[in-house]
């Protein structure tokens, strides 16, 4: 039988059985899990306790200090901007991108632990650096505005001036790269994001089949690395990447 976890309180069991006709048939069922049906096992309890202590020693470790709280207020907030900048900074890319759906929790002020940042970035996605033209980058940013006219992502390294009343695909009015470079549709740019978005997740189809370089770092570790580079207590006050003209 093949056993796979199925939510909380039950297991999904699939049995492959031979039929009377000589074929094979898969029969599935749900088996409830009850503490009352599980016998105590001292060796297992010791093993679980040891792993719990190891986990707590990691999640409780202070990795940085944040000066002001970073809540998720609205669709554009300093927390999302900080995460996007962390990706851009750590991978040395022109632009950083993070989807709002991937930001799992607020970040309070004060000492910040690994466990807190893991709740902020819980997906454990790997980061990648994608090569795009200016025209393709504009399309990616339009897709971040396509659902409701409001941004579903945060960016760093670029300012996106947009009109939410325009039709989808034509909402961006102006793109401004940070620094002295002028945005050009034919130029090539590097985009730091996670492998989920880079594979077309959340509707970012413009990123499909684009050349990329694995960043060899997880999303949460990139945030830790970036926060540690800032003067402590860390402060992030950059304006939002998406700016409405309305």
pLDDT of residue 90: 97
Residue 215 has a pLDDT of: 93
Segment 195-223 shows an average pLDDT of: 94
Tens digit of pLDDT for each residue in 112-143? Answer: 999 999 999 998 899 999 999 999 999 999 99
pLDDT at 82 over 90: yes
Categorize the per-residue pLDDT at 8 as very low, low, confident or very high, splitting at 50, 70 and 90. Answer: low
- HSE of 236 in the Cβ direction (CA atoms, 13 Å)? 26
pLDDT at 36 over 60: yes
């Amino acid at each position: 039988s093949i056993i796979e976890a199925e939510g909380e309180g039950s297991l999904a069991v699939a049995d492959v059985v031979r039929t009377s006709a000589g074929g094979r048939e898969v029969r599935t069922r749900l088996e409830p899990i009850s503490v009352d049906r599980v016998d105590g096992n001292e060796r297992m309890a010791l093993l679980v306790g040891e792993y719990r202590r190891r986990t707590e020693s990691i999640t409780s470790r202070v990795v940085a200090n944040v000066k002001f709280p970073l809540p998720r207020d609205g669709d554009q907030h300093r927390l999302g901007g900080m995460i996007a900048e962390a990706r851009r900074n750590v991978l040395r890319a022109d632009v950083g991108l993070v989807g709002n759906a991937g930001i799992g929790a607020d970040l309070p002020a004060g000492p910040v632990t690994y466990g807190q940042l893991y709740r902020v970035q819980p997906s454990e996605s790997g980061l990648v650096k994608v090569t795009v033209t200016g025209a393709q980058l504009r399309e990616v940013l339009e897709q971040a505005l396509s659902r409701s006219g409001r941004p579903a992502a945060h960016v760093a390294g670029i300012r996106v001036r947009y009109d939410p009343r325009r039709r989808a695909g034509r909402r961006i009015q102006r793109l401004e790269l940070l620094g002295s470079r002028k945005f050009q549709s034919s130029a090539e740019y590097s985009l730091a994001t996670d492998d989920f978005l880079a594979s077309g997740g959340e509707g970012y189809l413009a990123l499909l089949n684009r050349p990329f370089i694995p960043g060899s770092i997880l999303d949460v570790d990139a945030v830790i690395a970036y926060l540690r580079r800032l003067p402590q207590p860390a402060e992030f006050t950059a304006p939002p990447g998406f700016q409405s003209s309305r």
